[in-house]
Structure 1
């Protein structure tokens, strides 16, 4: 699995290069971003929206680079995703979790698939609904083993998400909300393995996002992600407060303040989240 991220990234680009259709048919900012596990969505939450601007006769390919710089840790993410005909998304992400105080890092690869079941986030009366999965593979499970994870190799999250964009809903500004239910047993995204002494089965965790587009190019909001405490180390839920600048359909910049709580016993892990999203075509 070590090279799966790079293999899938190349495959995504190869498939897309066989088509002349660029994904640019949707309204600016309505495709959302690419989150830290590579799926289309917000920063920490996958949404029902797909990662590109493609309509029913288009495809799109997007890339992301993200860094979350905390007191004792640093998360770096590189990802690529492709959206086909506004129906299916495939994605790959490589995560490197730097241990700033102890030295060294933990690396994980994530492969994702999402399928739009119903609706359009902008134009349908009810929210857009999508289902998806994220398969996660640790490159080195030594720390997960040391902490007592039930599995130090791999695990899969399953989710269903609902997203709605309301045009002119808040004092004339566009508003967006998302709710996601995730079945997971991942410890800190899977970076600390899967399951543990407290629980070794999938649990349902709730996630949510809400934001307002202050203009065509600027969005502000917050996100929440519930997380299991399988290892008994006091793993806490995540919150971020973000501002995104989207000058055009080719690039989006996001700055956020992330409050990630306790990580592996280190309390109050807060810091800046910076992400650059680019639509390649």
Structure 2
């Protein structure tokens, strides 16, 4: 998908005054749980973070002595294409995250026009993430995490016919995330950067590797979010994409999102996604909605 999407949400925390007060207390340092929104939302691939770009944070609100976790459902619809993603993730001691997700990519317009044998492509994703160093809030340097996403495309006939080489592959990424209290005109600012190694076509929905490029690509991703008040965040995401298939170019993704975090149990994210050209269909634009339940 080209400028897709899908987008997401982003998490952040309370006002600088509230956070400054809380950080000074033992409870804020984990004894009473992590701060609101520090588990992020769920990406379309299941990892904690934003909608299309993972963060270095660990899913859920578990502290150094606890388990945490999240379950999510996401829907994106451009009219010509749909994407439904569902999954769960578990966090252990705010150090390790593991999870499973399933994606269902619908292409009714293209299937009807080309008489394709299927109207849906499905993909299963198992992921793991390890926090290597730092803390989102309390350390002077960013939180740094290493992530792995193992992906398997379950409807490989059409992707193989358009040049995809494999029906499974692995994405490996390094994420650095930091929350700056009062960093944007007195409001909290979150910055996130990711370096990813991948050979996935449209995140793997169209298989892995291709006739134009078989090898892996090193790709950059970024997220910026600002907290408007203790429960509302707005932001943008950008994700570079590989270009492996000769029949249709793959473009970078962009989105603009709003996240609502009424409490530590619920997060809702809405986004506008410019999908660009997807598998030969141009000017794809979509709204994205994601709901997450956390612990």
TM-score, with length taken from structure 2: 0.85
TM-aligned CA distance change 1:24 to 1:61, over 3 Å: farther
What is residue 195 of structure 2 aligned with on the other side? 181
SS at match of 1:140: coil
Q: Distance in 2 between matches of 1:24 and 1:217?
A: 19
Structure 1 residue 71, shift from structure 2 partner: 3.3
The partner residue of 1:108 within 119, 123, 132 is 123
Query: 2:252 & 2:187 partners in 1: Cα distance?
Result: 29
Q: CA offsets per residue over residues 10-65 of structure 1, 9 Å max, x none?
A: xxxxxxxxxxxx99711111221110000011000011111111110011121000
Is 1:63 aligned to 2:78, yes or no? no
Instruction: Kindly indicate whether residue 204 of structure 2 is the aligned counterpart of residue 196 of structure 1.
Output: no
Q: Secondary structure at the match of 1:189?
A: helix
Distance in 2 separating the partners of 1:141 and 1:121: 39
Gaps of 5+ in 2: 1-29, 113-118
Distance, in Å, in 2 between the alignment partners of 1:142 and 1:262 is 22
Q: Specify the alignment match of 1:229 in structure 2.
A: 243
Of 33, 36, 50 in structure 2, the residue corresponding to residue 25 of structure 1 is 33
Q: Is the 8 A contact 1:90 1:113 kept in 2?
A: yes
Q: Gaps spanning 5+ residues in structure 1: where?
A: 1-21
> 20, 40, 46: which is aligned to 2:54?
46
Tell me whether 1:142 sits opposite 2:157 in the alignment: yes
> Per-residue deviation at 1:143?
1.3
Q: CA–CA distance in 1 between the matches of 2:32 and 2:80? A: 40
Choose 246-255 or 228-237, whichever is displaced more.
Answer: 228-237
After TM superposition, give the deviation of residue 185 of structure 1 in Å.
0.4
Q: Are the aligned partners of 1:23 and 1:53 in contact in 2 as well (CA < 8 Å)?
A: no
* TM norm structure 1: 0.89
Partner Cα separation in structure 2 for residue 255 and residue 98 of structure 1? 20
Number of residue pairs matched by the alignment? 258
Aligned counterpart, 1:16: none
Which ranges of 4 or more aligned residues in structure 1 deviate by more than 6 Å?
Answer: none
